Amino acid sequence: MADDAVLVCPMTTPEWVPVMTRAAALVADVGGKMSHAAIVCRELGTPAVVGTGDATQKLAGVEAVTVDGTEGKVYAGSV
Amino acid sequence: MPARSESAELDAAVEAIVKGVYDSGALYDPHRWWPRSYLPYSPLFAADFHSQWLDQWREIPRQGAERYARSTAIWVLLAMASRSLKTLFDEKERMSVFLALLDDIRSAKAGDPFCRDGRHLVLMDDEAQAIVDRLSFADATDRPTDRAYAGLNATLLAFSEAVFFSANCTVREVHGPYLVHYDGEPRQLLVRDYYRLRDQALEVETADVSYDAIRTYSLYDETVRFEFTVLNDYTSDQPLGTAAVAHAAELWRGDEVSAAEDVVVVGEATAALSATIAAVGARIADTSPVDETVEIVRRTYYRASPIAEAVGGKWEPRPEFILDFRVALGDFHATTPPSMTRREFGVMVDPRK
């Protein structure tokens, strides 16, 4: 896993933490403000956007994404 | 009718619960708990749980809550129980229970029991300063060091979630910010206190974890805004990991405590916790939904185990109750938590209404 890799996943559970600690950012289909992904990323200081619904489908095959955790937005490509 | 000061106290308590449970989003996030939210199932066991818990709690001499539980654990019970109190007792009795619980919380905390200033304090600021003076902190501006401590904190959070499921709040107390000085500069200290890490009561796979407790300390710039609520969750406009100035940690094995001052020790602790998380996750993956739900109920009872221990008892669901629960589960179709407004939630948790 590259240092600048963005983790795009359906949702996270406690088992995902070792991977989450290495991710530069996280995007999850499922989750809310208090979900596992959100609270762990807050602890890590990792930008995250959760509850996207279909990020894993829309970002399938996309090589570069930009994650704005403050605004809750994900862009295809480098912005 | 409650006296005026008592009424103000109850107003503050209700507002604190609403802020911690409703405003935080904890109530309505169906993915709040792992492996599944217990909230949709709570109607099946809440009355049994709370009646047993209250029976034991009443036997405890009222000499201070710190004897048997941390303040967050009591708040969790109070927030959970507030609804059941209405079905179990008349107004006079539920008020006495509610107020007695508030007394317990007050005696377990050093700061405002309702966190109205955004601070969740179980230490005095001078006690926190003594900790800062005693420990050697690692520089958080060093990226690998910062990531190592952030990883440990995240892994401890995940560990408590994995091992205790929805009862994780009973094994962690994240408190602060304490106003301290470090290297002559004003700083804010957050303490992340994880305890009972090797508790065998739930027969969990903690054999590889040799730590009984781990406490991490992070110093932040005085400008970082923290907003703690009574339920120990906090928010900040800034990502916490990258905003820290310095980190330290202490690891307990029994009464022996050692400081974790370098990333190697921090990494070893993180790896041990991660191995346990993976083992628990693998077991849950092989568990049927019904067994998983029953286990969640059992662990929800575990929330109150410190109270049972204080009176020399044992806290667990009655075997016949688990059997009834399994039967009821067969006809029960879990739904997401019911929708309600902030005001409706406030009425639900207010013992006067």
pLDDT in tens, B313-349: 878 888 999 999 999 998 888 777 678 899 999 998 8
What count of Cα atoms within 13 Å lies in the side-chain half-sphere of residue B61? Answer: 3
**CB-neighbour burial class of residue B2 (10 A; exposed 0-12, middle 13-18, buried 19+):** middle
pLDDT digits (tens, 9 = 90+) for B18-74: 988 888 777 777 777 788 888 888 888 888 888 888 888 888 877 665 566 677 778
Structure tokens belonging to residue B221: 């710039």
Residue B4 confidence (pLDDT) = 67
Using the Cβ of A62 and the Cβ atoms of chain B, whether some distance falls under 8 Å is answered with no
Q: Which two tokens stand for residue B308?
A: 């049972």
CA of residue B345 relative to chain centroid, distance: 21
Q: What is the ipTM of this complex?
A: 0.93
Which candidate from A11, A14, A31 shows the least CB-CB separation from B158? A14
Task: State pLDDT tens for residues A29-79.
Answer: 998 888 889 989 988 989 999 999 999 999 998 889 999 998 999 998 888
DSSP state of B285: H
Question: CB distance A34–B29 less than 8 Å?
Answer: yes
In B229-267, at which residue ranges do the beta strands (DSSP E only) sit? 234-236, 244-253, 256-259
Q: What is the pLDDT of residue B154?
A: 93
The set of residues, in sequence order, having a beta carbon less than 8 Å from that of B264 and lying 6+ positions away, is none
More confident residue, B293 or B315: B293
Instruction: Give the minimum alpha-carbon distance from A38 to chain B in angstroms, rounded to a whole number.
Output: 10
Alpha-carbon dihedral B118, B352, B57, B255, rounded to 10 degrees: 0
Provide Rg for chain B, Cα atoms: 20
First vs last C-alpha separation in chain B: 11
Domain ranges of chain A: 1-53
The pLDDT assigned to B235 comes to 64
Contact A32 B153 (CB under 8 A): no
Please compute the mean of the pLDDT values over residues B297-314 and round it to a whole number.
80
pTM of the model: 0.91
Yes or no, beta carbons of B277 and A17 under 8 Å apart: yes
Q: A13, B281: Cβ pair inside 8 Å?
A: yes
> DSSP string spanning B189-222?
EEEEEEE-TT--TT--S-TT---SEEEEEEEEET
Amino acid at B87: T
CA distance A13 to chain B (A): 7
B3 — pLDDT class (breaks 50, 70, 90): low
pLDDT digits (tens, 9 = 90+) for B225-278: 888 888 776 665 556 666 899 999 999 998 899 998 889 999 999 999 999 999
Determine the number of helices (DSSP H) and then strands (DSSP E) in chain A.
Answer: 3, 5
B209-235 mean pLDDT? 87
CA distance B17 to B230: 7
**Mean pLDDT of the B218-231 span:** 88
SS3 B226: strand
Residue B80 pLDDT exceeds 80: no
pLDDT digits (tens, 9 = 90+) for B155-208: 999 998 888 887 667 788 889 999 999 999 999 999 999 988 887 767 667 777
- What span, in angstroms and rounded, lies between the C-alpha atoms of B43 and B258? 44
Nearest to B296 by CA among B195, B200, B164: B164
Nearest to B151 by CA among B34, B272, B241, B259: B241
The yes/no answer on whether domain A1-53 falls in CATH 3.40.50.300 is no
Rounded mean pLDDT of B90-112?
87
Q: Catalytic site residue A7?
A: no
* Chain B residues inside the 8 Å CB shell of A17: 154-155, 158, 274, 277
CB-based burial label for B47 (10 Å; 0-12, 13-18, 19+): middle
CA pair distance A11, A19, nearest whole angstrom: 13
